[in-house]
Amino acid sequence: MDHQPKFFENLSGTGKAIGVLTSGGDAQGMNAAVRAVVRMGIYVKAKVYFVYEGYQGMVDGGDNIVEVSWESVSSILQVGGTVIGSARCKSFRTREGRLQAAYNLVQRGITNLCVIGGDGSLTGANLFREEWSGLLEELAQKGKIDEEAVKKYAYLNIVGMVGSIDNDFCGTDMTIGTDSALHRIIEVVDAIMTTAQSHQRTFVLEVMGRHCGYLALVSALACGADWVFIPEYPPEEGWEDSMCVKLSENRARKKRLNIIIVAEGAIDCHNKPITSEKVKDLVVQRLGFDTRVTILGHVQRGGTPSAFDRILASRMGVEAVLALLEGTPDTPACVVSLSGNQAVRLPLMECVQMTQEVQKAMDEGRFVEAVRLRGRSFENNLNTYKLLSHKKPDAELPKTNFNVAVLNVGAPAAGMNAAVRAAVRVGITEGHKMFAVIDGFEGFSRGKIKEINWGDVGGWTGQGGSILGTKRTLPAKYLEKIADQMRTNNINALMVIGGFEAYESCLQLHEARSCFEEFCVPICVLPATISNNVPGTDFSIGADTALNAIVETCDRIKQSASGTKRRVFIIETMGGYCGYLANMGALAAGADAAYIFEEQFDIRELQANVEHLTEKMKTSIQRGLVLRNENCNENYTTDFIYQLYSEEGKGVFDCRKNVLGHMQQGGAPSPFDRNFGTKISAKAMQWISKKLKETYRKGKVFANTDDSVCLLGMRRRNLVFQPVAELKNETDFVHRIPMEQWWLKLRPLMKILAKYKTSYDVSDSGQLEHVAMHSPKEAETGAI
C-alpha cells in the first residue's frame, strides 16, 4: 500500500474549542483518553474544556465547564476511574435539559464534543447533534443568543470513544477498560485457586456483564475454568446433569479444585436467570462438594489501568481529535474504535444499532445470531473455549495416527504455557498423539521427549515462564541427532513456540530438508518473546506481560519522584535491539523520552531532552522519566546518559537510574497473553492438522514446500500464516529485528503527549468505514 504520507500539521485547531466529557459507568483508562484529547487538542492550538460530571455538568454549566491547560492532565494516566467525574443525568433526556446544555456550550464557543462512555451516552450525544440547529434557533427566539452566534456555531461535531469494562459495544474489538477489568478478575481467580486447591473446593465466581458475557468468557478462557455461564450462549436443556458429570470427572482425574464463572446476566434457554447461588446450591445438593461463592462486584471497575488500556486510550484520544478537526457539517457522528491492531472510525449510530440488535436477538431467543452479531473476536473466544474445556470420551475422538511434537525455544515468555496447553488439547481433539519436548532443540537432540495427555496440561494457563523448559540453542549444531529423534519417535509435525530463535530454528530446519527427509513435515512457529522482535507479527506472546511489569515499576518510580520533586529517572528496559518495550512502556507510563536503536540519536538530541526537562521543572510537574532500550547505542550507555543528565541538570534536577532486568521476563501472564497464546495456538494446531492431511501420501507425511513451514502472526487486523522463507527478506538478522515495525508510527504520539514538536503521519488514520457484518466463515480465519 504505497501512499504519500499525510501529516496533521495542515490540520489546525486554531479558533476551535473542544469539550471532553466522561459519561455512564466509569472504566479504567478513561483518564488516559482525557489526557490524550487535552494534550493533542492544545498541541493543534485548539482550546480544550473539561465538562465535569458528564451531561449533568453540561446542563448545569458554570464551574462545570472549564478551560484546561497542559498541566491539568498531569499524573492522571495511572489513575483508574475518571477524574472529571461521571453522572447519570435525567435532565439531559429532556429537550429543556439539552437546550440549557446547548446554551452553556455556545457561551464558550464549544462546537466539538468528545464523549467517552457507553452506548447510552453516545446515543444521547448523537441526538444532541441532530437537534443542535433547532436548539440554537430556539435559543435565538428566546433572545438568549443572537443570530450571529446561530450562524457562527451552526453545527456540532461529535466523536465518541467507548469506555466500558463490559466490552459490549459492536464495531470495536476492545473497549477502554475491558483489559484492566480482566486483570482484576484474573488476579482474584489466581488468588482463589491456591486456597481452593488447599481445601479441594469448588468456587463459583460472579463477574460483571449484565447483557454481555465477554468478561466471563475471556476470564474462563484465561484461567481454564470448568464451566462458564454467559447471556449470549445459554446452556442446553439438562445442563445441570452435564455440568455435574463434568465436575465429578475432573475430581476423579485428581483435579483438586473446580472453578465455575457466571456472568451476572447469565440465563438459561428459557430466558430465566442463572444465579451464582443457584449454581452453588446445585453443586452442593448433587455432588456434596465444598462450594463457595465469590461476587467480584465493583472491584472489576477499580484499580490502575493496564498498559494495554493506557495505550489504547491514548491512541484513540489522539485519533478523536484528528476526527474532530476533519469534521464537516456532513460528517456523521463517529466512534473511534480498534479493529485488530488498527484504529478505525465508524458511524456512531451504525454501531449503536448493531449493539441493540444483539440485545433484541437475545430477548427473542436467537442466540446463535446474538453471538455472530457480537463480532468475530467474541465468536472466536467462544469456539476456542468450547474446544479446550470439554474432553470428548476417547471412543468419540478421531484417530489419525499422526504424532505432533511441541517445544519451547529461546528465552522464557509469559503465556508460553497457555500456548502449549491449547496445542496439546486441540491436538488430542483432532485425533493426534501429542509429544512434549523438554529443553528446546538441545533436549530434542538428547531424546528428552515424552507423550503428553489432556490432563497433564491442566492449570497451565496461569503459570509464568516455561514449564517444558526452554533453551536458546539453535538446531544447526544437532541436525543429525534431531533427525534421528524425529525418526525414532515418528514425529509427523512440529510446533515451535518461542522468540527470534524459534523463527531462526525453523529457517534452519527448512534449509536442512534437502539433507534430512525427517524435516519434510508441517512446522509452525508461534511468536513468544517479551522483546516482540519476531518478523511477521505485530504482537508476540509475553510482550504484554513484560510491558505491564515495566509500567507498574514506572508508576512506583514516578510516585517516589513526586515526593522528592525535581528528580529525573533513567530506566533501562530489555528487548535486545528492538525498542518495542522502551517505546510502548514510555507511551503507557507517560515518559518524557525513550531512546531506541531504531531511531538513531546524537548528543544534540540528548542535549535537547535535558533542556526540555529543565523547562518542565519550571512548571508544576517537577519530575521526569526517561526510558532507554538496553542496546539503543553502544556508546551512549545508561551510565553515560545518567552522568550527562546529572551534570547538565545540576542545580535544576537530580538524577537516579534503574535497570529493570529479568523482572521483565517473570510473573504470571497477563490476560492478553493467556488469551493470545491460547487462541493462536489452537489456530496453529488446526493448520497443522490440515497440512498433515494434505501431505499424507502412500502411508507417510511428506511436506517439502515453502508453505509447510509457517509463522502464525497477527498482522493489522488478521491472523496470517506466513512461510518463514518469505519472511527472510523482511528480517535484519544482525540486529534480530524485523525491517519494518508498525509501532514506530506511534513514536510521534509519545513525543506529542510529552510536549515535543514533531510531525505525525496520519495517512493511516481512518476514513470513515462501515460496520461490517461478518460471515460465520470469517470467524475461523479472522481476528483475535
Active site residues: 166
**Grid-cell match 502464525, residue found:** 712
The span from the CA of 355 to the CA of 120, in Å, is 11
The span from the CA of 369 to the CA of 175, in Å, is 22
The span from the CA of 684 to the CA of 455, in Å, is 21
Alpha helix segments (H runs only) across 574-637: 580-589, 603-617
Query: Could you tell me which residues come within 8 angstroms of residue 528 by beta carbon, excluding any fewer than 6 positions away?
Result: 408, 410, 413, 415, 416, 419, 497, 498, 499, 502, 540, 541, 542, 677
Does residue 246 contact residue 388 with C-beta atoms inside 8 Å? no
Residue (of 424, 444, 420) closest to 432 by Cα position: 424
> H or E stretch including 437?
strand 433-437
The span from the CA of 586 to the CA of 627, in Å, is 6
Phi, psi for residue 659 in degrees, rounded to 5:
-105, 115
Residue (of 347, 349, 354) closest to 124 by Cα position: 349
Between the alpha carbon of residue 444 and those of residues 91, 418, 450, the distances in Å are 69, 21, 10
Cα-based angle 734, 738, 742 (whole degrees, multiple of 5): 150
The span from the CA of 598 to the CA of 90, in Å, is 52
> H or E stretch including 442?
helix 440-445
**Grid-cell match 471497575, residue found:** 301
Record the cell numbers describing residue 591, joined without a space: 515518559
The span from the CA of 249 to the CA of 216, in Å, is 23
Between the alpha carbon of residue 129 and those of residues 24, 106, 304, 642, the distances in Å are 18, 13, 33, 52
Three-state DSSP at 596 gives: coil
Strands 17-22, 112-117: pairing kind: parallel
Query: Could you tell me which residues come within 8 angstroms of residue 353 by beta carbon, excluding any fewer than 6 positions away?
Result: none
Neighbouring CB atoms inside 10 A of 152's CB total: 13
CA atoms within 13 A on the CB side of 193: 21
Does residue 371 contact residue 767 with C-beta atoms inside 8 Å? no
Order of all β-strands in the sheet with 342-347 = 65-67, 47-51, 17-22, 112-117, 157-162, 334-339, 342-347
The span from the CA of 465 to the CA of 611, in Å, is 42
Does residue 180 contact residue 306 with C-beta atoms inside 8 Å? yes
Record the cell numbers describing residue 530, joined without a space: 517479551
Record the cell numbers describing residue 57, joined without a space: 455538568
Three-state DSSP at 216 gives: helix
The span from the CA of 365 to the CA of 171, in Å, is 22
The span from the CA of 629 to the CA of 547, in Å, is 13
Three-state DSSP at 205 gives: strand
Q: Which amino acid is at 428?
A: I
Q: Which amino acid is at 123?
A: T
Q: DSSP string covering 29-61, please?
A: THHHHHHHHHHHHHHTT-EEEEETTHHHHHHH-
Alpha helix segments (H runs only) across 661-755: 671-695, 724-727, 747-753
Does residue 414 contact residue 464 with C-beta atoms inside 8 Å? yes
Does residue 652 contact residue 565 with C-beta atoms inside 8 Å? no
Record the cell numbers describing residue 737, joined without a space: 529485528
**Grid-cell match 462450594, residue found:** 291
